Structure 1
Amino acid sequence: MFSNPRTAYMDASVATASPARLLVMLCERLVLDVTRGRNAQAEGDHAEAHRQLVHAQEIVLELRMSLDVDAWDGGPALASIYDFLYSELIRANVAKDLARTESCLQIVTDLGATWREAALQVVTAQTVA
């Protein structure tokens, strides 16, 4: 018996997701965290902004650590983007810098869109094959 149906659903979704879908899910959560952090900063709720931006930093670290930079030509460039994003999220959080957080939000939004498109291409290629 599940104590929280939402948690059970999320656990099942993660457990059964393909690697491409997991990556997209992480990026979606990253966008959500940075959006929530930006909104909290704009409202002056620095404790909530800190919580959201720290979680976003953890996701970026996970993305960076799971990246095999030697697997493809763009690996080192993507690693640099993750490293930059991680540093900027820390700076945005420490300085309570709304403009920097908004810049990070643009990066993670673009990154998420790129990973969604890549995942769609993988699914399409698998369907054709």
Structure 2
Amino acid sequence: MINNPYQKYQNQSVQTATPERLLLMLFEGAIRFCKEAMIGVDQNNFQLANEKNIRVQNIINELIVTLDREKGGEVAVNLLSIYNYINQRLIEANLKKDKTILEEVLSHLTELHQAFNEAAQVVRAQSGRTGDQA
């Protein structure tokens, strides 16, 4: 049983979120953990850097697993390539404790978040128009 009010709120947020919002939340988490991994590298706290890097890898792996390759077509294939590339760079960054690689990963994650956010806005706008027509 969850006693922490913040954890209850977070749990409720995830359970009631739309698929678009869940995707954005994953990217937001990956971005946050990537920044925390960079802080770990800066501080020579390699345990922190490792833990946060692995959290980003777990999120990327979740994105890979949930990618609908049948419905997604070429877009899904391209996303899979991007996710695999990011994963490889994360592994390399973790082995080398290289902040420059993490900065590159952060840039990719930020761009993907922005692109999915814009797509979610289009979906919301279209569903709003559909609702107005019904």
Question: Hey, what's the Cα distance between the residues in 1 that align with 2:42 and 2:126?
Answer: 43
For residues 1-129 of structure 1, what are the structure 2 equivalents within 5 Å? 2-72=2-72, 73-129=74-130
Answer with 52-61 or 39-48: which moved more: 39-48
Answer with 32-41 or 8-17: which moved more: 32-41
Sequence identity (%): 31
Larger Rg, first or second structure (1 or 2) = 2
Question: Hey, what's the Cα distance between the residues in 2 that align with 1:90 and 1:113?
Answer: 24
Maintained 8 Å contact 1:70/1:76: no
Query: Which 4+ runs in 1 deviate beyond 2 A?
Result: none
- How far apart are 1:107 and its partner, in Å? 0.6
Structural RMSD (CA)? 1.2
- How far apart are 1:2 and its partner, in Å? 4.8
Q: Which amino acid aligns with 2:4?
A: N
Q: Which runs of 5+ in 1 are unaligned?
A: none
The alignment covers a number of residue pairs equal to 129
- How far apart are 1:94 and its partner, in Å? 1.1
Question: Hey, what's the Cα distance between the residues in 2 that align with 1:114 and 1:30?
Answer: 15
Q: Which runs of 5+ in 2 are unaligned?
A: none
Q: TM-score, normalised by structure 1?
A: 0.95
Question: Hey, what's the Cα distance between the residues in 1 that align with 2:42 and 2:104?
Answer: 14
Question: Hey, what's the Cα distance between the residues in 2 that align with 1:82 and 1:2?
Answer: 33
Q: TM-score, normalised by structure 2?
A: 0.92
- How far apart are 1:70 and its partner, in Å? 2.6
Maintained 8 Å contact 1:30/1:108: yes
Give the number of the structure whose residues are more often helix, by fraction: 2
